[in-house]
Amino acid sequence: MHEDREAIHKAPLFSGLFTEELDGLLSHARTRQIKAHEVIFAEGDKAEAFYFIAMGAVRLYRLSARGDEKVIEILMAGSTFGEAVMFLGGRYPVYAAALSETRLVEIPISDFTRTLKANGGMALRMLAGISMRLHQLINDVQSLTLETAGQRVAAYLLEQSPPDAQSADVHMIVHKNVIASRLGVKAETFSRVLATLRDLGLITVSGNDIHIVDRPGLERWRAAVGT
């Protein structure tokens, strides 16, 4: 737990807290090792904790009546999830499963909310962090509804690379089907867009590794063309 505290403090939810406040909030937290593809919680489970990803990756998803999976979000190390239920109470609205070997910090909701109720200033600072997260989710929804499939794929690649870089390497830690589901496109469409970008000389592809040859060019393509 001690080695994860610095990373936890950088997460938007906790970044506004003083060190002693964070220590108090984590006093009853515990570390969990999760195997790849292991379900952390299911939709409808009673919400008793929320989580910080210290290592690995997690996908949040829902299942249709036919059992088809729709990925809601892919979360990497440094992210929190399940925290909204802390304020709403009740049950988890989605499934959560590890995409790889993952280490989580599990934070009990009951202890956490009790501490927040006793410290209004701390609660307000944490609310600011949640607001930042909500703003990002709104941007994601806008992208899914207003942008073409090509623009979504290009945006995903750009998000994985430094904004001031001329070129960059992107390693897809999760299967392309998972990424495609998150972007709201079919797997074959995702592959077709990558092929188009490769043919244009904007990227090269080798397995799960993508090299962005011309990041400014990719930005221009996303803004002006898409597919």
Give the global pTM.
0.70
**DSSP per position, 156-177:** HHHHTS-TT-SSEEEE--S-HH
Q: Identify whether the C-beta of residue 85 lies closer than 8 Å to the C-beta of residue 109.
A: yes
Q: Show Cβ contacts of residue 211 under 8 Å, excluding neighbours closer than 6 positions.
A: 167, 168, 169, 170, 203, 204, 205
pLDDT digits (tens, 9 = 90+) for 48-89: 999 999 999 999 999 888 888 888 888 989 999 988 777 666
128-132-133 Cα angle (round to 5): 120
Mean pLDDT for all residues in the chain: 84
pLDDT digits (tens, 9 = 90+) for 80-111: 998 877 766 688 999 999 999 999 999 998 88
Q: What is the arithmetic mean of pLDDT over 134-150?
A: 65
Provide the 8-state DSSP code for 227: -
pLDDT beyond 80 at 180: yes
Q: Could you tell me which CATH class the domain 2-145 is placed in?
A: mainly beta
Alpha-carbon span 112 to 117, nearest angstrom: 9
Alpha-carbon span 79 to 72, nearest angstrom: 15
65: left (phi over 0), alpha (psi -120 to 50) or beta: alpha
Q: Give the count of beta carbons closer than 10 Å to the beta carbon of residue 216.
A: 12
Residues 124, 130, 131, 132, CA torsion sign = positive
Alpha-carbon span 128 to 134, nearest angstrom: 10
Domain boundaries, the chain: 2-145, 147-224
pLDDT for the residue 138 = 58
User: Closest Cα partner for 8 from 41, 73, 59, 52?
Assistant: 52
User: Closest Cα partner for 43 from 82, 90, 91?
Assistant: 91
pLDDT for the residue 143 = 56
pLDDT beyond 60 at 144: no
Strands 80-81 and 209-212: unpaired
pLDDT for the residue 224 = 82
Per CATH, the number for 147-224 is: 1.10.10.10
Alpha-carbon span 227 to 46, nearest angstrom: 42
Q: Which one has a higher pLDDT value, 120 or 57?
A: 57
Q: Identify whether the C-beta of residue 194 lies closer than 8 Å to the C-beta of residue 153.
A: yes
pLDDT for the residue 192 = 92
